[in-house]
Amino acid sequence: MSESNELIHLQPVFHEMLWGGRRLETVFGYQIPDGPIGECWAISAHPHGDCRIEGGRFDGLLLSELWDQHRDEVFPGACGDRFPLLVKVIDAAQDLSIQVHPDDAYAAEHENGSLGKRECWYVLDCDEGATIIVNQNARSREEFAHMVEEGRWSELLHELPIHPGDFFQINPGTVHAIKAGTLILEVQQSSDITYRVYDYDRPDKNGNLRELHLQQSLDVIDYDAPAPDSGAVQAPEVDGVCVLEENDSYTVERVRVSGAKTQRNESPFLCVSVISGEGTICGEAVEKGVHLIAPAAVRELALDGEMELIVSHV
């Protein structure tokens, strides 16, 4: 069977969140449900938000079905029992909980064979004076538990200012929280395992407190992880391309397009998110807010226009 060279367009899945807002509608023009919508799952085959394909040969299939039924044709050479990445846009109108994610080994043992959750954040926009929490200051399980018990949050948590264009890699075991007034593009492993350390004692819409997972958090926190001084991107930009992160789970690049250029594809697929501007990808018109998958048979992305992309792959 010949490889498919069609770009794959997806219908995003939107999630109402206690801390969500309306910027997915006002900034990107998405048609979102009523209420506080916190997350757009833009490229996802996860059971909690499986995107449906729009147009082309595979119109109407879920991304998980495409992976299961047409992997050799669309994603030749891809490994694993599920589409490995999940791309989100997060609108934090309020603070997210203080949380931490497990690695693959812990999740496989304790979360029914799930992947762990390594993720990264590209700050699309934020309010003036906005901050973010990345890491914590306790050096042992006992010290962390003691500081939580005493409510010494400002002393425990490593908080730093953020600006549009900042980037943060969040490895499993890193205590973190996106805070109010922040719009973020997140690339992560296809996992939905989150351990909440603290949720500000705030009730949900039904008046209930959300579950905390302190014991699991204490198990998985990396007490030796270094804390970042800032999210400013230090990596060089070459011909418009900056490699923001490269690890065993994913590579994430920022691609700036001004005029015509080509981007090589040497992976089983590329996840492409247009974060500003407009133009064409392989002759198809795109604008800010469009997310698509370029399969392996698209050896080169032909790009044209004035736009900025986040491109991620395994």
Q: Tell me: the pLDDT tens digits for 78-100?
A: 989 999 999 999 999 999 999 99
- Choose, from 71, 196, 202, 210, the residue flagged as catalytic: 196
Q: Are 302 and 282 in contact (CB under 8 A)?
A: yes
What pLDDT sits at residue 297?
A: 96
User: Is the pLDDT at 24 greater than 80, yes or no?
Assistant: yes
Domains of the chain: 8-220 (2.60.120.10), 237-313 (2.60.120.10)
User: Is the pLDDT at 275 greater than 90, yes or no?
Assistant: yes
Confidence of residue 205 (pLDDT cuts 50, 70, 90): confident
What pLDDT sits at residue 1?
A: 55
**Which backbone phi and psi does 281 adopt, to 5 degrees?**
-125, 115
Alpha-carbon distance of 106 to 108, in angstroms, equals: 6
Alpha-carbon distance of 123 to 157, in angstroms, equals: 20
What pLDDT sits at residue 4?
A: 84
Q: What is the pLDDT of residues 299-314, one digit of tens each?
A: 999 999 999 999 999 9
* SS3 state of residue 141: helix
What pLDDT sits at residue 204?
A: 87
Residue from 164, 174, 158, 97 nearest 130 by CA: 164
Averaged pLDDT, 215-231: 97
Tokens of 234: 């230090």
User: Is the pLDDT at 2 greater than 90, yes or no?
Assistant: no
Q: Are 93 and 21 in contact (CB under 8 A)?
A: yes
Average pLDDT value for the chain: 97
Helix (H) or strand (E) holding 149: helix 141-149
* Residue 22 known to be catalytic: no
Residue 68's Cβ-count burial label (10 Å; 0-12, 13-18, 19+) is: middle
User: Is the pLDDT at 126 greater than 60, yes or no?
Assistant: yes
Give the amino acid at 230.
S
Averaged pLDDT, 117-143: 98
Query: How much of the chain exceeds pLDDT 70, in percent?
Result: 99
Tokens of 162: 């953020």
What pLDDT sits at residue 40?
A: 98
